[in-house]
Amino acid sequence: MAENSEMDISEEQTAAEDVKTAGQPLSDFLLHLEDYTPTVPDAVSEHYLHTAGFNTTDPRIVKLVSLAAQKFISEIANDALQHCKARGANQNTKTKGKDRRYTLTMEDLTPAVAEYGIVVKKPHYFV
């Protein structure tokens, strides 16, 4: 029985040490976050947070949501670019150059957002 209590104490100490070391990078991250300006403005994030019913006075929370929104948008844009490149590889393109320019189209954006559970449908007057 004494062995179990010793194991519990050592596990608790290990967990406490993990919390101490995990807290340091978080505080460093929050300090770096103060100097960073996300692509999505804080005012936009704050507006949508208020619309959703989330009210906060901590600007770090709003900035963190702005950063998460920026990451989400960049992942969707990257996925759409990959769809565009795959579609371009399937077609016979005569221009083979380093300086290729891509255009974001609904044809590429629709499957990219579908991977995240967002369904995009064209209005009936565009069909």
Continuous H helices in the chain: 2-35, 42-51, 59-90, 106-114
- Can you tell me whether residue 101 is helix, strand or coil? coil
Which residues have a Cβ under 8 Å from the Cβ of 103 and sit 6 or more positions away?
Answer: 84
Spell out, as residue ranges, where the chain has pLDDT lower than 70.
1-23, 90-99, 127
Q: pLDDT by residue (tens digit) across 58-75?
A: 898 999 999 999 999 999
Residue with the two structure tokens 């960073």 = 36
DSSP state of 125: G
User: By C-alpha distance, which of 57, 31, 101 is closest to 23?
Assistant: 31
Query: The whole model's pTM is what?
Result: 0.68
- For 25, phi then psi, to 5°, come to -65, -30
pLDDT of residue 115: 93
